[in-house]
Amino acid sequence: MTITPLPILGQWPDAGYACPPLAAGPLRAPAATPLPMSREEMHARGWDQVDVVFVTGDAYVDHPSFAMALLGRLLESEGFRVGIVSQPDWHTCDAWRTFGRPRLFFAISAGNMDSMINHYTANRKVRNDDAYSPGGRIGRRPDRATLAYCQRAREAYRGVPVVAGGVEASLRRLAHYDYWSDKVRRAIILDAKADLVVFGMGERPIVEIARRLAAGQTVRDLRDLRGVVYRLGASESPPTESTLKLPSYEEAAADRFAFAEMTKTCHVETNPHNARRLVQYHDREAVVANPPALPLSETEMDRVYGLPYTRRPHPAYGRERIPAYEVVKDSVQIMRGCFGGCTFCSITAHEGRIIQSRSQESVLAEVRDMAADPQFTGVVSDIGGPTANMYQMRCTRPEVEAVCRRLSCVHPTICKLLGTDHGPLVQLMREARAEPGVRKVLVASGIRMDLARRSPEYMRELATHHVGGHLKIAPEHTDPNVLATMKKPSIDDFTAFDAEFRRASKRAGKKQYLVPYFIASHPASDLDAMIGLALFLKRNHYQPDQVQDFIPSPFDIAACMYHTGLDPFSKKPVYVAKHLRDRKLQRALLQFFKAENYFEVRRALEQAGRQDLIGSGCDCLIPDRPPKAALDRRRASASRELSEARDGDHIRGKPGSSGAGYRPHRKTATRRRKDECRKPKV
C-alpha cells in the first residue's frame, strides 16, 4: 500500500504559542505542612475555598517523584490554593465535593502510571498489588481512571473546567492502540469529556492555565498554549499555520498502514523546537494537539525541585507503607528526559528527549536536607533520573538541535554532535558522597552502557563508590534484529561493559555483579531469537530472577508494531508474538533453568526444531527427562484446575468487562446446541 504524504496546512512559523518561563525561586524552601486532603485541613489554613482541586489515582505523597505533589507545590508557590483528592471512591461524586466548588478548575490524573498497566499484567491478569496505594492494596482506582474521574468532576460541579493530565492522558492524547481491549481507541479528551488535556510534564502549562483562568479568561482562550490538546466542535475549523493533518481516527482504526503513518508522524513531531501542531478528525470533530512545552531551564528545574516538600506520605495514612514511596524516599532526581529513543519506552514521549538538569548546588542542597533528617539512614538510594548518566548532556550545536528530528541521539550510532562528557556527573557524585551525614550514594537508575564506556573515569567512580554489590542494567535482548527494532545497542556493548565493570570492581577490591534485564515477546522476537537469548544466558551463567513481558503501552512505537505488524518508519513487516501460548513459551525460555518451566521450554525447543538443546550436552537447556519438581508442579496445576471446575469458581473476564465470568447454572452455546439436537423432532 502506498502512503500519501500528510497534508501541511499553512506555513510553519517560528513562534505563536504561549509558553512563559517559570519564575526563579530559592534552591531549597523550608519544609511545610502537606497540601490539604480534607475540608478540616483547608479551614486550618484559613481558607474557605480552594482554587484548584487535584484528583489523583495515587496515594498523596509529598515528594517530588509524585506528580501531584510537584505540580501542587508549584501552584502553591504561585499563590494558588490547592487541595488534593487522593484515590477517591469513583462510584459517587461525593469526594469531588470535599473542598466545595473549586474557583478555577479540576486537575485530573490517573496517577504516575497508566491505570491499565497499573492494574493488569502482560497476560491481562489482575496484579496482586498496587505500589502507589497504601499497603499495596489493589482496587483503589478504576480501570481507565482518567475517564471516571473527569466524569465525576463534571457531575460534582457543572461549569467548572476539567483539565486532564498525567501519564495516562499524555500517552492517549490522540487515537491509540489499547492492548487491554485490543482495539484502537479515540483520543482520551473525547471519551473523558475534559476541557483540556495537558501532555508531558506539565509545569509550564498548568501554571499558565491557572494564571489565565484567574485573570478571567475561558478555557477556549487557552488553545494557544504549548503542551495542550483540545477538541473542536463540528462547526469549527482547525488552525492552518504549521499544522499537520493526521489520518482520521476511523482511518487509523480500520487500516494498519494509516495507523503506522500516524504513529510515525506523532513521534517525528516531538522536538518542541520544531514540532508542528497535529490535527486528527474523529468523525466530524477534530482533536488538536499543540507542540510540546519547551524544556525547563536549569533555573526552572532548581525551583521545581526546591519547593517545600515534606518528602513523606500525608499523615492520614498513618504508619501504613506505600511501596512506591519506600523505593524513592531517599533518592534524588538530578535530571529528566531521555534521548535514547527506545521504542518500547514511554519516557521520551512523556518527558521529552532533551535532557533537563538541575544545578549541582540544587542537588547538594537536597542531599543536605536529607542528611539533616533524623530518619535518614545515611544512604542515598539513587542519584539519577530516567537514566543514571545523561546528566547535563545536550547537543553541542543548539542551532542543529532546533531543527533535528532524529528520534534517538544514540541509535544506530551515537551522534557526533552529542555532548557525552561525564565530568559534571562525576564531580556531583563526589561532592554528594562527601556531604556530612552521608555514608553512601548509590546509583540505581538505568545506566546507558554505550555512554558510560566513553568515560573510564566514570566507570572507576561507579565501581569504587556507587554500587551496593549489584548493578542493574538493561541490555534487553541479544538478537540483532530485535535490538534494532528496540533501538538498543548490540549485545557486544553489554559484554564489553561487563568486562570493564568487573575490571574496575577488581581494582577497587570489590566483588560486584551486573544484574541484566531482558524482555520477552517484544516485536521481532520469535522463538529462534529467544532461544539465542537463552543460550547467551547459559553460556554466561546468568539466571535472571525477574523477567519482563512486553506490554504494548499506548503511543509507543513498539505498541504500533505489535498492533499493525509493521515498522511504522519503513512499513516493513515485523514478527509479533500475539497469542498467549507463544508469549508463555518466550517467557519460559528466559528462565529455562526453573523446573516449573520445563514443559514450556521443551515445547518451544521442539516447535523451533531445536531438539539438539534437549539432553546433557554443554549447550543443552533442559535434560531429556523432566525433573521431579516439574512433574509435581504439573500434577498440582491439573488438580487445582479440576477442583476449580468442580467448585464453579469465578473465572475473571477481560479487563473492563462485566466480570460475570463462568456461571455453572448457565449452559454454554455448545451445550445448548447439543441439547437441542437430542430433542425429538415434532
- Mean per-residue pLDDT over the chain, rounded: 91
Average pLDDT over residues 351-361: 96
Burial of 550 (0-12, 13-18, 19+ CB in 10 A): buried
Whether the pLDDT of residue 2 is over 60: the answer is no
Q: Give the model's pLDDT for residue 4.
A: 52
pTM of the complete model = 0.90
CB 595, CB 579: distance < 8 Å: no
* Secondary structure in 3-state letters for 68-80: HHHHHHHHHHCCC
Contacts 24+ apart (CB under 8 A), 595-599: 595/627, 595/629, 595/630, 595/633, 596/629, 596/630, 596/633, 598/622, 598/626, 598/627, 598/630, 599/626, 599/630, 599/634
At 648, the pLDDT band (50, 70, 90 cuts) reads low
Q: Quote the DSSP letter at residue 326.
A: H
Domain 467-650, what architecture? 2-Layer Sandwich (3.30)
CATH superfamily of 23-235: Response regulator (3.40.50.2300)
Q: Give the model's pLDDT for residue 638.
A: 79
Whether the pLDDT of residue 664 is over 60: the answer is no
Domains 330-462 and 467-650 share a fold: yes
Helical ranges in 615-666 per DSSP H: 628-647
At 546, the pLDDT band (50, 70, 90 cuts) reads confident
Nearest to 172 by CA among 150, 189, 196: 189
Whether the pLDDT of residue 13 is over 50: the answer is no
Q: Give the model's pLDDT for residue 658.
A: 42
H/E run at residue 481 = helix 480-486
Q: Give the model's pLDDT for residue 233.
A: 87
CATH 1.20.1730.10 fits 330-462, yes or no: no
Q: Give the model's pLDDT for residue 551.
A: 96
Domain extent listing, the chain: 23-235, 330-462, 467-650
Nearest to 303 by CA among 395, 204, 220: 204
